[in-house]
Amino acid sequence: MRRVLITGMSGVGKSSLLRELAARGYRTVDTDYGGYHRTVDGETLWRPGRIDALLDSAPESQPGALFVQGTTRNQTLFYPRFHHIVLLSAPAEVLEHRLTTRATNSYGKDPAELAEALGYLDTVEPLLREDATLEVVTTVPVPRVADIVLAHVLPKEPAACSPRA
């Protein structure tokens, strides 16, 4: 089973992509929910034991893919366990619009949170880009983002051999 991390700044469409992939029958886990985080000195980090257990539940011998969504400072500890690290990105003006108008999450509606989120484009996103195996700019429809990701992360089937006459 391919283990794929979907990461990026708030508002890029990580949760929307996970919903699309789940609708297509893929196993998805949003680490923003389900006890995958703990707070250490005011910072939200992944719980190593929970993330290890999640990744262990998707052995390489199984077919398919596990798509895990999250963005935390300690995610780099788990990069060796992922086959692919997919960075979703979008221009600042797109993120600003999405954060201030979305109904599924209140983060970014407060002006201080919005400034923080947009500031991460200069401080955090370049670090994520360094290790990404794929970057998708999410200004296209979500189904197209899913198509791009799937084409990149799933192994290609070998072409059928035809017998020679």
Report the alpha-carbon distance of residue 63 to residue 50 in Å, rounded. Answer: 22
Residue 160 lies in a domain: no
pLDDT in tens, 111-161: 898 998 999 999 999 999 999 999 999 999 999 999 999 999 997 755 555
Whether residue 69 lies inside any domain: the answer is yes
Find the CATH number of the domain harbouring 70.
3.40.50.300
Instruction: Name the pLDDT band for 79 (thresholds 50, 70, 90).
Output: very high
- Angstrom distance (rounded) from CA 103 to CA 95: 14
Within a domain: residue 158? no
107 in a domain, yes or no?
yes
- The mean of the pLDDT values for the chain is 91
Provide the domain limits for residue 100.
2-153
Higher per-residue confidence, 125 vs 64: 125
In a domain, 86, yes or no: yes
What is the domain count for the chain?
A: 1
Query: Whole-prediction pTM value?
Result: 0.90
